[in-house]
C-alpha cells in the first residue's frame, strides 16, 4: 500500500558514503520521508560494538550502531544486500549478510528492505530489477519509479562530477550535490571534508581507503583536516577519474575481484605515477580481510616506486594521540624525501 508518510531509515555508514545522493533522491522523489542517522559519535560506536560480533570490522560495527539508533524512529529500514555493483566484481562478503545479522541483533527491528543488488553479469538489468524490487516492497510501481530513478541518477552523476572537480583540495562534499542530503539529516550535519583551498607550497599527499572510513570524521579522527593542517594537500580516490583508476589496475598481473579493492589499488597505482605526489597514506580498518591483501600489495608497489607510504589501521580502541604522532612523523619526513 502506498504511504506518503512512510518514514524510511538510512544508516549513515558503509555504502551510504558511496550512494547517499542516489538513495536519498530516489526515496524522496517517491514521497517517502527519509531519516538519516546522525554522524557517528561515541554513543553510536559503543552501541554498535555492543551489538555486533567481535570479529566484525569496525565499519560493520558502526553500521549496527546507526541501525540501532534508527530502529525506534522509522517504519522501515533500507539495508540493500550488496553483492555486486559492476560487472565481474564483488562487494565484500560481510555486506551480503548484513540484513540478516541486523535482524538477529537489533531488537526490536523494523522491517528491512533488503533488496539484492547484483550486477555481476548484467549491470543494467541487475540494477533495474533491484530498483523495481526496492520500490515495490513499499507499494510503488511503474512510471513514478522510473521518474524517481532518473532523478536519482542525475543527482548522483552530478555529485560524482563534483567529487572529481574537488581534486585540487580533496573536497568531497557528500551531500551538497544532494540538496536532499542536508534536508533529511535531521540530527547532525552532513559529513563534509574541509574544502578550503590548500596553502601555497603545500605537499601533495594521496589519502586512500574506503569512503566510509575517510569521510566518517569520527572514525577517521578527521585525518584529512589534520593532514591539511600539517601542510598537506590531499587527493582522494573520489577525486580521480574512474577510467584512470581502471587503467592503472591493468598493470596488475591478476585482476582484483573486489570493487573497493580495485578502487584503492588503482588509486595508489595512479598516484605513484604522479611526480607531484609526495607520499601516500592508506587508512584501513582492523579486521578488514580485503584490505589486508590490497594494503600489502599497494605498499609494495609504492615502495618499489620510491613513494613514501603510511599505513594507518584503526579500530574502536585506537587512540588519537598515537595517530597524530605517526601522521606528524610522516608529514615531517616528506619534505626531506621529496626534495632529495
Contacting positions for ligand SF4 (CB under 6 A): 57, 59-60, 92, 94-95, 210, 260, 285, 288-291
Return d(Cα 249, Cα 338) in angstroms, integer.
25
Tell me whether residue 211 or residue 234 sits nearer to ligand SF4 (CB atom): 211
Question: Vertex 276, ends 255 and 334: CA angle to 5°?
Answer: 100
Tell me whether residue 98 or residue 334 sits nearer to ligand SF4 (CB atom): 98
Helix (H) or strand (E) holding 7: strand 7-10
Smallest gap from Cβ 80 to ligand SF4, in A, equals 14
Smallest gap from Cβ 281 to ligand SF4, in A, equals 16
Smallest gap from Cβ 229 to ligand SF4, in A, equals 26
Return d(Cα 71, Cα 87) in angstroms, integer.
33
Smallest gap from Cβ 97 to ligand SF4, in A, equals 11
Other residues' Cβ atoms within 10 Å of the Cβ of residue 113? 21
Grid cell locating 304: 618499489
Tell me whether residue 17 or residue 330 sits nearer to ligand SF4 (CB atom): 17
Return d(Cα 99, Cα 124) in angstroms, integer.
24
Tell me whether residue 125 or residue 296 sits nearer to ligand SF4 (CB atom): 296
Say if strands 116-118 and 81-84 run parallel, antiparallel, or are unpaired: parallel
Grid cell locating 248: 592503472
Tell me whether residue 180 or residue 221 sits nearer to ligand SF4 (CB atom): 221
309, 279 contact by CB (below 8 A) = yes
Smallest gap from Cβ 263 to ligand SF4, in A, equals 11
Amino acid at each position: 500500500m502506498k504511504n506518503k508518510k512512510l518514514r524510511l531509515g538510512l544508516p549513515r555508514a558503509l555504502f551510504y558514503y558511496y550512494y547517499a545522493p542516489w538513495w536519498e533522491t530516489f526515496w524522496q522523489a517517491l514521497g517517502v520521508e527519509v531519516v538519516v542517522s546522525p554522524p557517528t559519535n561515541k554513543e553510536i560506536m559503543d552501541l554498535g560494538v555492543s551489538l555486533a560480533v567481535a570479529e566484525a570490522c569496525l565499519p560493520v560495527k558502526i553500521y549496527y550502531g546507526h541501525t540501532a539508533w534508527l530502529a525506534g524512529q522509522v517504519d522501515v529500514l533500507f539495508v540493500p544486500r550488496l553483492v555486486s555493483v559492476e560487472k565481474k566484481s564483488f562487494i565484500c562478503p560481510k555486506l551480503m549478510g548484513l540484513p540478516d545479522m541486523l535482524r538477529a541483533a537489533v531488537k526490536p527491528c523494523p522491517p528491512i528492505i533488503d533488496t539484492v543488488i547484483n550486477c555481476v553479469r548484467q549491470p543494467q538489468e541487475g540494477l533495474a530489477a533491484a530498483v523495481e524490487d526496492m520500490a515495490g516492497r513499499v507499494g510503488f510501481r511503474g512510471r513514478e519509479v522510473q521518474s524517481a530513478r532518473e532523478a536519482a541518477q542525475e543527482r548522483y552523476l552530478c555529485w560524482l562530477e563534483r567529487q572529481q572537480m574537488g581534486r585540487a583540495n580533496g573536497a568531497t562534499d557528500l551531500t551538497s550535490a544532494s540538496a536532499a542530503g542536508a534536508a533529511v539529516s535531521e540530527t547532525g550535519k552532513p559529513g563534509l571534508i574541509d574544502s578550503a583551498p590548500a596553502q601555497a607550497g603545500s605537499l601533495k599527499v594521496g589519502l586512500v581507503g574506503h569512503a566510509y572510513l575517510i569521510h566518517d570524521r569520527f572514525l577517521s579522527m578527521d585525518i584529512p583536516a589534520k593532514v591539511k593542517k600539517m601542510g598537506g594537500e590531499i587527493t582522494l580516490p573520489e577525486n580521480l577519474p574512474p577510467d584512470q583508476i581502471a587503467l592503472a589496475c591493468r598493470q596488475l598481473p591478476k585482476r582484483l575481484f573486489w570493487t573497493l579493492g580495485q578502487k584503492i589499488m588503482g588509486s595508489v597505482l595512479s598516484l605513484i605515477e604522479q611526480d607531484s605526489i609526495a607520499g601516500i597514506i592508506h587508512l584501513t580498518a582492523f579486521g578488514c580481510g580485503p584490505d589486508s591483501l590490497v594494503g600489502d600489495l599497494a605498499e609494495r608497489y609504492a615502495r618499489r616506486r620510491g613513494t613514501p607510504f603510511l599505513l594507518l589501521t584503526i579500530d574502536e580502541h585506537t587512540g588519537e594521540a598515537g595517530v597524530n604522532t605517526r601522521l606528524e612523523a610522516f608529514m615531517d619526513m616528506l619534505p626531506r624525501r621529496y626534495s632529495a
